[in-house]
Amino acid sequence: MTRGIPVRATAVWTLLMAATALTWWLGADHAADLGSGRTWVALAIPVAFLKVYLIGSEFMEVRTAPRALRLVFGAWAVVLTVALTTIYLL
């Protein structure tokens, strides 16, 4: 009896697709109508890195990896999120 893909992975993928749609909406022109368009667009960056972290954690299986790897991977995501959002808003 072969096991299929874990339900968790399918759930994560669905979440990723939804997040992509969200990013699309954030970046699309009508997001700017909500006022302070820059803030909404800036939100797209953390959302992107959240997706990145999900892909790493769930698909790359970093979640079940030794703590050192999880920390480094997470640090990369956090550092870039902060740096890129800051530079964009500057």
Partner 1 sequence: MTLDISADADLPEFLGGAPADSQRVRRPERAAGERRTPGEPGLWVFILGDMSMFGAFFVVLLWQRRAAPAQFAVSAQELLRPIGLVNTAVLLLSSYLVVSALWAQRSGGMRRATLSLVGALACGLGFGVLKVVEYLHVLGNGRAAPATDTFYTFYFVMTGVHLLHVLIGVVLLVAWMGVLRKGRAVTRFVEGSAVYWHMVDLLWVVIFTLLYLVCAA
Q: What does the binding site for partner 1 look like in residue numbers (CB under 8 A)?
A: 2-6, 9-10, 13, 16-17, 20, 23-24, 26-27, 32, 37-38, 41-42, 44-45, 47-49, 51-52, 55-56, 59-62, 64-67, 69, 72-73, 76, 79-80, 83-84, 87-88, 90
Burial code of 55-84, b = ≥16 C-beta within 10 A, e = fewer? ebbbeeebeeeeeeeeeebeeebeeebeee
- Nearest approach, Cβ of residue 35 and partner 1 (Å): 14
- Nearest approach, Cβ of residue 29 and partner 1 (Å): 9
Q: Among 8, 4, 6, which residue's Cα sits nearest to residue 54?
A: 8
